[in-house]
Amino acid sequence: MPLLEVENLCLADSSTGKLLVKGVSFSVEKGDVLGIVGESGSGKSITALSILKLYPPGIKCTSGKVYFKGMSIYDMPESEVLKLRGKQISMILQDPLSALNPVLTIGEQVEEVLEVHSSLSKKQRKKRVLELLKEVGISDPELRARSYPHELSGGLRQRAMIAMALAGEPELLIADEPTTALDPTLQIQVLELLKNISQKKGLSLIFISHDLGVISYIAKHIVVLYKGEVLETGKVEAVLKEPLHPYTKLLIDSSIGLNKQPKSCQENLIFEEPSEGCVFYPRCVKRCEKGRKEKPPLIKVDETRSVRCFLYE
């Protein structure tokens, strides 16, 4: 049984009813690292937030199920979901400066998680805070625990966020573009940290990014999202070596980390009004007439790979 299973998740704009996430399904095994990739607006972040029913303002779930260790999160009372958040499933948000409380020290914020999700005494919590800060590579943890978020660099703030996420000793960690605001050197450090933590603790990880170079470094499996639909899934090595969907190929071509001469995602694209058929039809360089009116299903190519494209019917 997978640790996490998302089945046919549909999310819509509450005011207009427009679907923003359309039947997304994926699973995460224990100890696995799943990468979710796609450009801005593809539905990555709202899908991740919705796993724990943290719907962004104006967003509602219209259908779908989320199972954690076989239990349906969407059928749980809110009190039970609250126990999951930060304990068995934790999140690292994209911007640590806005996610961290500016009027509390780093130590106080990490200790809050321990106070809610552990039975440690105050003295034990203080000691555990320093251990967690040291565990995520923060030097002089005593000093950093007394610091406020604005007094730390971007890299240290992100490490503090990781320490908070690990405080409840979760089984699943969701990282929503945690390296986007960091320079390349810090990106590698944070990625290496998350990779080592996942391997050392047997922690399952969902890593969200628009950068295929980052995904290739950390993930074992990949889900490619576009306008709220899954266009391709598979093992990272196979997908990057031989992408099946034209959109995945465009993402690879536009990634500096994967090509010596990166191409713009705008090259050779065909622009026209959005079709009622294939969601990628207006931009596809390999589009077929069938895709103008009909939506392709997610076709299973082999045991590990699926693609939403009529070319593989």
Task: Kindly give the residue spans of alpha helices, DSSP state H, lying in 168-298.
Answer: 184-201, 212-218, 236-241, 246-253, 290-293
Q: What is the pLDDT of residues 149-167, one digit of tens each?
A: 999 998 999 999 999 999 9
Query: Residue 43 above 60 pLDDT?
Result: yes
Query: Residue 134 above 90 pLDDT?
Result: yes
Q: What is the mean pLDDT of residues 199-218?
A: 92
Q: What is the mean pLDDT of residues 28-41?
A: 94
From CA 291, how far away is CA 277, in angstroms rounded?
5
Q: How many CB atoms lie within 10 A of CB 99?
A: 18
Where does the pLDDT of residue 262 fall: very low under 50, low under 70, confident under 90, or very high at 90 and above?
very low
Give the pLDDT score at 180.
Answer: 79
Query: Residue 258 above 90 pLDDT?
Result: no
From CA 205, how far away is CA 227, in angstroms rounded?
23
From CA 20, how far away is CA 76, in angstroms rounded?
24
Q: What is the pLDDT of residues 6-18, one digit of tens each?
A: 999 999 999 999 9
Q: What is the pLDDT of residues 54-83, one digit of tens each?
A: 988 999 999 999 999 999 999 999 999 999
Domains, the chain, ordered by start: 4-88+170-312 (3.40.50.300), 98-169 (no CATH)
Give the pLDDT score at 275.
Answer: 55
Global confidence as pTM: 0.91
Give the pLDDT score at 265.
Answer: 44
Q: How many CB atoms lie within 10 A of CB 70?
A: 9
Position 139: which residue type? Answer: S
Q: Residue 127: which H helix or E strand, with range?
A: helix 122-135
Query: Residue 293 above 80 pLDDT?
Result: yes
